[in-house]
Chain A
Amino acid sequence: MAESITYVREDFLEPEKAPLSDSSAIGWIRKNLFASVKDSILSLLALAALVYFLPGLINWLFVSAVWIGADRTACLTVDQGGQLPAGWSGACWAYVGDRFVQFMFGSYPRDELWRPLLVVAMFVGLLVPFLMPKVPRKGLNAILLLIVLPVIAFFLLLGGVFGLRHVETSLWGGLMVTLIISFVGITVSLPAGILLALGRRSQMPVLKTVCVAFIELIRGVPLITVLFMASVLLPLFLEPGNNIDKFLRALIGVSIFASAYMAEVIRGGLQAIPKGQYEAADALGLNYFHKMTFVVLPQAIKLVIPGIVNTFIGMFKDTSLVTIISMYDLLGIVKASFGDSGWITPVTPLTGLIFAGFTFWIFCFGMSRYSAFVERRLDKGHKR
């Protein structure tokens, strides 16, 4: 009887090919762009918009753009006094190229440029290992980056000692100023924010009130008013006849503002630490200082690293506001160059702003990518 059971297959069937809707390009398009009538309409509209705008944009930015030229005539049409055909419009990258050093360093003396460049090199050399999680000796790195480097940079950039020529801060400008202000803001706001956050959660009523009042007042007003306060009121508050440096005033304003925001981020981390951690530290007989530095803060700060980086990004963008109190950060110096008679053309402002925007974008996007990376890394530890 056993022989008659012939319906049992002994060889495997060839696997079916995946359905066309899963494998082919057409299938992908149908699934992702034309799944329903509504989808199709939306896709077609989006495609139409892309076809309409993208070629024009690329043309404006790259194809018809002027890349080389010594002055404004390179970017002017015939009827405006240049050589380009009438009706031409495109980016004037020649202008950005011509002003590049100014956009980076402002009016910093050209023969002293090695000083900011050296600072940049040291900064990058210390920052990159600091940001890479695998590189050891984070503590030493942090001290070098946050304490030693600023001191060296201060003397190197300002000069006046060790035979270096004194360079007034009014000559500083461009991306250099943007980076200095945000770096100082970051370095000051982190410890100040931690202190304010601890003060806000303290049991002592006077300390708590002071911290809450400070944080809420600063967070409730726009940065411009804080900057105005630093630039207009600070000289009033100090000894009569003082002449406090304008750059320093902006630094103070930005630092105050950033500290209040940082305090709230850190407070979020402090609140997320379970009470048992505090009690365990107490039970071990640690005093307040030890409890905070060895038990609570390391955990709390680790929790809010994404929030801290977001605050940094916000602060980096906000440094552009010093333009309003007539300082020349990247945006300020780009804007000031629009009035430069050597390069006045109808396309100069747009080109300059796109350049400045792209520079800001690179920094901010980089920071946010890094934040996402750290977030993913930290997440692993909590997965059970």
Chain B
Amino acid sequence: MALADARTGSGEPPKVSLLYNPALRSIVYQVVTLVVIVAAVWYAWNNVVQNLARANMTAGFGFLNSRAGFDLAQTLIAYSSDSTYFRALQVGLINTLVVAAAGIVTATIVGLLVGIGRLSHNWLIARLCTVYVEIFRNIPPLLVIFFWYLGVLALLPSIRTIFQHVKDDPNAVFFISNRGIYMPAPIFGEGFGVVLAAFVIGIIAAIGFTIWANARQRATGKRPPVLWVNLGLILLFPLIVFVAVGSPLSLDYAVPGSFNMKGGMVIGPEFLALYLALSLYTASFIAEIVRAGIRGVSKGQSEASYALGLRPGQATRLVVLPQALRIIIPPLTSQYLNLIKNSSLAVAVGYADLVAVGGTILNQSGKSIEIISIWMLIYVSISLITSLFMNWFNAKMALVER
């Protein structure tokens, strides 16, 4: 009543019934929503407690410190079956990030090429790129993974064939089999840190040189040979240091063992299948985004840059692409996020990513609530971090208007 009185500004009873007061209605709606949600959560929680009690289980994250007891195929950090569940999840997270990063880089490159190819004046190239996009866009990524894993990689030579091959040609160092690609593993000797340091210094110097070269170009109109100097700084300088400290790098070759190849480095078929499928699938979407972005820049822009005397390459690089990027970046971000989320399909071929490792732990310990909340927490964080970074990049590239 007090509300209504204040609105009409008189002591008389309001003409409108309280039922139609928007402020009151909104409060009622929200209270009802809140009550429904609280009741649902309470109901679910009650059931969880009862269900867990019936199964003689307890909730909590204490199990993360117990022994995992299973082996993982690809581990970039020290891990054995004696490690804890927590360690296993760390391995899984790293594997997820590895395949996602590799996939993002490849998908971006392939997508860029195909997207530009679709706009090519060359009829054949444009058609081929269209066929690629239309095929991969319309097939489930899981099917593409199975295609590589069961259809292609499983048909590669078996390990026994490789053994035969090694007998025939003892100097071979690089093998492709249905258990993965074997290649020599680098072993970093003492003093390799110096080479790494030289590499980092080279990159910093190259950035400095580029800034200086830009300033010089603005001042004098002449551009110093940036590409060659930078290549020298980034590649030649560490190479010289590498030779100077006595080449602290040796290779560990893969050799036939009793059942499998020993030593060396192996890229498993699970990783390859997942990586190829994610890259090729996402590349088809990125190609469409790139195409839309480039077509979104009006033709006058490239004509104007030709009128200014820029070569076609320069016009693309300095005028068209920076403007196209503004259109491209937001949808590109969501494709990156999709790729990261799709990397969870690893579980289908047994690549030890976060979901696969978590699934194994879930089956072993039955801690479903904990595992699923860990998954969700990590994926939501990765998504948030990626979109924050891409938003920052987008803001940096955005048109600065007056």
A residues contacting B by CB (< 8 A) are: 32-33, 35, 39, 42-43, 46-47, 50, 203-207, 210, 216-217, 219-225, 228-229, 232-233, 235-240, 313, 317-318, 320-321, 323-324, 331, 335, 338, 346, 349-350, 353-354, 356-357, 360-361, 364-365, 368
| Contact status B369-A233, CB under 8 Å | yes
Taking a contact as CB atoms closer than 8 A, the residue among A46, A237, A331, A349 that contacts B151 in the complex is A349
| Contact status B138-A222, CB under 8 Å | no
- Interface status of B192 (Cβ within 8 A of chain A): no
For B341, list chain A residues within 8 Å (CB).
Answer: 221-223
For A239, list chain B residues within 8 Å (CB).
Answer: 47
Query: In the complex where A46-B125, A206-B33, A221-B375 touch, is A237 in contact with B48 (Cβ < 8 A)?
Result: yes
State in angstroms the CA–CA spacing of A237 and B139 once bound together.
35
State in angstroms the CA–CA spacing of A217 and B143 once bound together.
26
- Interface status of B175 (Cβ within 8 A of chain A): no
- Interface status of B342 (Cβ within 8 A of chain A): yes
Query: Would you give the shortest CB distance from A147 to chain B, in whole angstroms?
Result: 24
| Contact status B355-A225, CB under 8 Å | yes
State in angstroms the CA–CA spacing of A72 and B147 once bound together.
20
- Interface status of B137 (Cβ within 8 A of chain A): yes
Considering only residues 108-127 of chain B, those with a C-beta below 8 Å from chain A are 120-125
State in angstroms the CA–CA spacing of A356 and B145 once bound together.
13
| Contact status A331-B369, CB under 8 Å | no
**5 additional contacts (CB under 8 A) given A323-B348, A360-B140:** A42-B122, A203-B26, A206-B33, A236-B48, A240-B50
Query: In the complex where A43-B122, A221-B379, A225-B344 touch, is A320 in contact with B143 (Cβ < 8 A)?
Result: yes
Chain B, Cβ-Cβ closest to A203: B26
State in angstroms the CA–CA spacing of A210 and B384 once bound together.
18
For A232, list chain B residues within 8 Å (CB).
Answer: 362, 368, 372
Query: Would you give the shortest CB distance from B288 to chain A, in whole angstroms?
Result: 11
Chain B, Cβ-Cβ closest to A223: B341
Chain A, Cβ-Cβ closest to B362: A232
| Contact status A364-B128, CB under 8 Å | no
Considering only residues 136-174 of chain B, those with a C-beta below 8 Å from chain A are 137-144, 146-147, 150-152, 154-155
Q: Taking each of B142, B154, B343, B368, which has the highest tally of chain A beta carbons within 10 Å of its own beta carbon?
A: B142
- The contact string, 1 if C-beta is below 8 Å from chain A, for chain B 30-64, is 10011001000000100110111010000000000
| Contact status B151-A204, CB under 8 Å | no
The number of chain B residues touching the other chain, given as a range, is 35 or more
Instruction: Jot down 16 A-B pairs with beta carbons below 8 A, ordered by A.
Output: A33-B122, A35-B121, A43-B122, A46-B122, A204-B29, A207-B30, A210-B37, A224-B347, A224-B355, A228-B359, A313-B138, A323-B142, A349-B146, A349-B151, A350-B147, A354-B151
Taking a contact as CB atoms closer than 8 A, the residue among B124, B146, B155 that contacts A335 in the complex is B146
| Contact status A353-B125, CB under 8 Å | no
| Contact status B29-A39, CB under 8 Å | no
Chain A, Cβ-Cβ closest to B281: A317
State in angstroms the CA–CA spacing of A335 and B135 once bound together.
20
- Interface status of B376 (Cβ within 8 A of chain A): yes
For A335, list chain B residues within 8 Å (CB).
Answer: 146, 150
| Contact status A46-B344, CB under 8 Å | no
| Contact status B141-A204, CB under 8 Å | no
| Contact status A32-B121, CB under 8 Å | yes
| Contact status A356-B143, CB under 8 Å | yes
State in angstroms the CA–CA spacing of A354 and B347 once bound together.
21
Query: In the complex where A39-B122, A324-B347, A338-B150 touch, is A317 in contact with B139 (Cβ < 8 A)?
Result: yes
Taking a contact as CB atoms closer than 8 A, the residue among A32, A42, A207, A220 that contacts B380 in the complex is A220
| Contact status B369-A236, CB under 8 Å | yes
For B155, list chain A residues within 8 Å (CB).
Answer: 346, 350
Query: Would you give the shortest CB distance from B109 to chain A, in whole angstroms?
Result: 17
Query: In the complex where A237-B47, A240-B54, A353-B151 touch, is A361 in contact with B146 (Cβ < 8 A)?
Result: no
Chain B, Cβ-Cβ closest to A229: B372
Query: Would you give the shortest CB distance from B203 to chain A, in whole angstroms?
Result: 32
For B37, list chain A residues within 8 Å (CB).
Answer: 210
For B325, list chain A residues within 8 Å (CB).
Answer: none
